[in-house]
């Protein structure tokens, strides 16, 4: 497989589940993740495992943490490479920066990517409204999750509600890890210090002339995998862009393709058929994200592995997708899946199903989560939050370096935050 990490690991998915769980074999197991003829083996390449350095436990944080307040700030961060997709063009990253302050002096940090400025203000306001409702509560992520979910049972847990609750969950886990003086990955029981990453910072729908130049730019820092957005008006343009990018990056680099839900099922079958022999690592969300049966139909007509999951709102959506056989691969979004707590449940489902798991956005948190995921595959790297971070996630030789600082490693560059702050 082009673009993976150096240590191979193979699961024969045409056998019953090898894990200690009560489940049936995948009725249609994931297939070979590169160009192939027959055969249904999935080859995952995992990075070499190296132990994280020991961490000192701060004595003053040995007491149970309690919530003092949430501090939330809205920022508009310009994107170095505007991203044009079949759904529109993103030029700024609307981020909600969350600080969970505790009575013990520990502060948990995280952020939410709100997709559009139209949603940023409502998310910030909801989080501010929730702050007094959890004041004085223990910083126990699962207990906070149950309490907050109960408040919104009649409304539901998707959209703005789900985003806000996930933000609190991620900040709470960060605070807990900081209190123990441990990286989040180690708190979750992991000892991997690197995960393979693909560069998703650009390569939007910019045409076959400009795409090769941008593709070469994305290979800095030793990336061995990149993603291109497709969904042009003419199907032949999709093919031309893939050809042009492949010529520029060579055969050794893994190339993923994302349709951002733009195609009908019939059109997706037609276009994936035209791309069958182009050595695509996966084709992502070719049709509507909640059309699990449609994805399953597309999957049955193509040899290209089908990827989806960034729009699973919680593990209930994921379970429905798995039951439908909608995809070969999964990529939960740390925010939409329910924060760290939701991710851990998703990782367990994926392990039981033998499904390789990649991440969607939020690379700083996702690096820790993938380090603790049994079927970890790829980390999606974007640099959209980098301008407001004191120490952005490091990439070395195409690998995301899991932060060895307490928590997730997220610390704000306050001067930059002040520059991009939205009142």
Mean pLDDT of 125-137: 99
Q: Which CATH superfamily is domain 67-180 in?
A: Enolase-like, N-terminal domain (3.30.390.10)
CA distance 78 to 65: 35
* Domain segments of the chain as ranges: 67-180, 187-411
Give the DSSP per-residue string, 121-158: HHHHHHHHHHHHHHTT-B--HHHHHHHHHHHTTTT-SS
The pTM of the full predicted model, rounded to 2 decimals, is: 0.86
In this prediction, residue 167 carries a pLDDT of 99
In this prediction, residue 88 carries a pLDDT of 84
**8-state DSSP, 387:** G
Task: Please state the separation of Cα 109 from the chain's center in Å.
Answer: 18
Gyration radius of the chain's alpha carbons: 21
Q: Which CATH superfamily is domain 187-411 in?
A: Enolase-like C-terminal domain (3.20.20.120)
Question: What is the percentage of the chain residues whose pLDDT exceeds 90?
Answer: 82
Task: Please count the other Cβ atoms lying within 10 Å of the Cβ belonging to residue 361.
Answer: 22
Give, for 344, the enclosing helix (H) or strand (E).
helix 339-353
In this prediction, residue 1 carries a pLDDT of 41
pLDDT digits (tens, 9 = 90+) for 192-231: 999 999 999 999 999 999 999 999 999 988 999 999 999 9
Of 19-28, 60-69, 244-253, the range with the highest mean pLDDT is: 244-253
CA distance 178 to 171: 10
Distances (CA, A) of 423 to 113, 223, 248, 288, 314: 17, 37, 43, 35, 31
- How does residue 26 score in pLDDT terms, banded at 50, 70 and 90? very low
In this prediction, residue 423 carries a pLDDT of 83
pLDDT digits (tens, 9 = 90+) for 354-384: 999 999 999 999 999 999 999 999 999 999 9
């Amino acid at each position: 497989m082009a673009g993976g990490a150096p240590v191979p690991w193979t699961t024969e998915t045409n056998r019953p589940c090898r894990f200690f769980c009560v489940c049936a074999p995948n009725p249609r197991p994931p297939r070979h993740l590169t160009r192939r003829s027959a055969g249904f083996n999935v080859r995952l390449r995992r990075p070499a495992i190296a132990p994280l350095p020991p961490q000192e436990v701060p004595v003053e944080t040995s007491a149970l943490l309690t919530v003092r307040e949430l501090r939330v700030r809205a920022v508009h961060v310009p994107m170095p490479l505007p991203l044009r997709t079949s759904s529109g063009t993103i030029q700024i990253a609307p981020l909600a920066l969350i600080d969970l302050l505790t009575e013990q002096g520990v502060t948990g940090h995280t952020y939410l990517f709100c997709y559009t400025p139209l949603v940023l203000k409502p998310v910030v306001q909801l989080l501010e409204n929730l702050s007094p409702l959890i004041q004085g509560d223990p910083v126990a992520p699962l207990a906070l999750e149950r309490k907050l979910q109960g408040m919104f049972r009649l409304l539901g847990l998707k959209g703005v509600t789900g985003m806000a609750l996930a933000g609190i969950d991620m900040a709470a886990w960060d605070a807990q890890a900081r209190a123990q003086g441990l990286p989040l990955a180690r708190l979750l029981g992991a000892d991997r210090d690197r995960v393979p990453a693909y560069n998703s910072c650009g390569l939007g729908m910019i045409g076959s002339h400009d795409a090769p130049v941008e593709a070469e730019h994305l290979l800095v820092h030793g990336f061995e995998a990149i993603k291109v957005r497709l969904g042009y008006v003419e199907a032949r343009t999709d093919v031309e862009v893939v050809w042009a990018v492949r010529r520029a990056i060579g055969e050794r680099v893994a190339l993923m393709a994302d349709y951002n839900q733009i195609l009908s099922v019939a059109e997706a079958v037609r276009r994936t058929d035209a791309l069958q022999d182009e050595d695509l690592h996966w084709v992502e969300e070719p049709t509507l994200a909640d059309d699990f049966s449609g994805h399953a139909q597309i999957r049955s007509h193509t040899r290209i592995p089908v990827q989806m999951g960034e729009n699973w709102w919680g593990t209930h959506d994921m379970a429905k997708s798995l039951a439908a056989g909608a995809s070969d691969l999964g990529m939960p979004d740390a925010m939409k899946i329910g924060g760290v707590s939701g991710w851990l449940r998703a990782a367990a489902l994926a392990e039981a199903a033998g499904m390789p798991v990649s991440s969607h956005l939020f690379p700083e948190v996702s690096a820790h989560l993938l380090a603790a995921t049994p079927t970890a595959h790829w980390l999606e790297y974007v640099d959209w939050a980098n301008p407001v971070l004191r120490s952005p996630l490091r990439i070395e030789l195409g690998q995301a370096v899991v932060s060895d600082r307490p928590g997730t490693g997220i610390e704000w560059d306050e001067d930059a935050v002040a520059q991009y702050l939205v009142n």
